[in-house]
Amino acid sequence: MQYSGARILIEALIEQGTDTVFGYPGGSVLFIYDELYKNSDRIRHILVSHEQHAAHAADGYARSTGKVGVCLATSGPGATNLVTGIATAYMDSVPLVAITGNVATGLLGKDSFQEVDITGVTMPIVKHNWIVKDVNELAEVVREAFAVARSGRPGPVLIDITKDVTAAMAEWRPADSGTAALAPRDKNSPAGESSLNLRAQRLAERNTRQTVTEADIGAAVKLLLEAKRPVLYAGGGVIISGACEELKNFAERLNAPVALSLMGIGSFPSDHRLYTGLIGMHGTVASNRAVQKADLLVSIGARFSDRVTSQADKFARGAKVLHLDIDPAEINKNVKSEAWVIGDIKCIIRTILGKLPQKMETQWNGDIDGWKKKSPAANSRDTALHPRFILEETAKRLGPEAIVATDVGQHQMWTAQFYPFTKPRSFLTSGGLGTMGYGLGAAEGAKIANPAKPVVLFTGDGCFRMNCGELSTVNAYKIPVLVVVFNNGVLGMVRQWQTLFYEGRYAETTLDRPPDFVKLAEAYGLTGYSAHDKASFTAALENAMKDIAAGKTAVIDARIDRDEKVLPMVPGGKPIDEQIL
């Protein structure tokens, strides 16, 4: 069947299971949008207010489901507006396919109108990218892109398609059922041999290759059997691999405390007796002290970020480190390991459990329970409306199936500390890049992907200014999201640092300016509520939930004290057990 390149792209996306594309049109993708229009009964397009939100929405779709998210933008500024969202996904290992249009092949490299070398721009922040200048290669490139995005340690990829390719005609051949999308192409096929495709094939094969060996498993088991005070440090890789139940079994077998990175939140239930909470700069007393007192630290799908280790040479100073990860590049990158096993986390834990005794004892002697009583508090002062109250009341109202998105800053850390997460893929946040403006797009994508689950965005007034334009999208498509703005009139986390380390010089962190968020919500056709104490927040939450039930996004402007702090806190460069409490 002869189809245009644009139609082939749509067919290939549907073939890969894509049901939703987040995007914004422009000249270089007009043929693609024409096909989206014609095939709107087969694939849904969500028109966002800015291309960055398209990337964040695709990211939220992917994080909340494990599927590949898809976003689409035109050439030049449309493509560059995706970059922050692509980088966000890259840092947090989110499977994403970003599709950009470009100028016609004959205009490449001539500084043509709205031309940019987006493959060059994104090279450091994608697993792989392609520029398609031959319509005969388009379908196979799409298949390869999805395979690379999903395989091994997931991540974003980018497909740049010149405008003439979207208009050109070629034969559309559906992939055979069960056929590997990355099989080497026959040199005599219409598309010929593509070095790009072969490189992509090798990349995907390397990502999916398992390197678990009996020797590595044996070394891991030996360390576990010798340990008296083991600690499990779990990250986002546990969630990505679907190994949350295995992690729970592992912890219970070892009788070992479990500390989580920010990306690991949700991988282990917060109400479990072995849960010690967040680790690192704003980690709990229990997690940070346990790691510093451990004789074995087992890192599971985590990368030893600087926000976890702080002063790396004093991190887990008395412990041997056993590192379990799918990405060999993470081994010994930030912290030296005694032993490691490289491969799929689920398979690794199952294999190790098969070689351990059914009951193991530790020698923590009640230390963990004692430290857990020193629970994190935002501040000991009694304020009218405390972040912990906001989070706990919202959690009670939404229930355990809720998906929580955040932006970045104090509200993000309070959410990680206080929200009672019990399920994986329920916490969506920008961990590695720390992207202000991430949250509303991510919440939107998550709600589209999970229509039966309640979705809430916790954001700050500084962050909400960066993404509030996306309220137009959630209203237009009737996407009901609860938005709670922690409004303290300042850039809270930066102000906290200025208070503690810059002698109170609040340079450019006071946000004494509009908008009124209640009126802003109303301007977008939504409802807004203001809360300044516990009673008014409870009333606002009740009213907002009625709006959500009616299929409408609601915004709560929650006024909190500008000097409320995220505590505990490890000052930069200090060991993680030297906390400001």
Give the domain ranges of the chain: 2-208, 214-372, 387-559
**Mean pLDDT of all residues in the chain?**
93
- Residue 384, pLDDT score: 80
- Residue 198, pLDDT score: 54
Residue 506: CB atoms within 10 Å: 14
Q: Are 56 and 441 in contact (CB under 8 A)?
A: yes
- Residue 202, pLDDT score: 55
Q: Are 160 and 118 in contact (CB under 8 A)?
A: yes
In percent, how much of the chain has pLDDT > 90?
90
The answer to whether the 214-372 and 387-559 domains have the same CATH topology is yes
Q: Where does residue 97 rank: exposed (0-12), middle (13-18), buried (19+ CB within 10 A)?
A: buried
Above 70 in pLDDT, residue 243?
yes
Residue of 91, 281, 413, 493 with catalytic role: 493
Nearest-CA neighbor of 53 among 25, 20, 81?
81
Amino acid letter, 98 = A
Q: Quote the tokens at residue 527.
A: 């409802």
The arrangement of secondary structure in 2-208, i.e. its CATH architecture, is 3-Layer(aba) Sandwich (3.40)
pLDDT in tens, 413-433: 999 999 999 999 999 999 999
Is 163 an active-site residue? Answer: yes
Fold classification of 214-372 (topology level): Rossmann fold (3.40.50)
- Report the first-to-last Cα separation within the chain, whole angstroms: 68
Q: Please state the separation of Cα 552 from the chain's center in Å.
A: 25
Residue of 51, 137, 330, 444 with catalytic role: 51
How far apart are alpha carbons 377 and 375 in whole angstroms?
Answer: 6
Residue of 67, 127, 163, 552 with catalytic role: 163
Q: Are 5 and 170 in contact (CB under 8 A)?
A: yes
Is 374 an active-site residue? Answer: no
- Residue 193, pLDDT score: 38
Above 60 in pLDDT, residue 555?
yes
Fold classification of 387-559 (topology level): Rossmann fold (3.40.50)
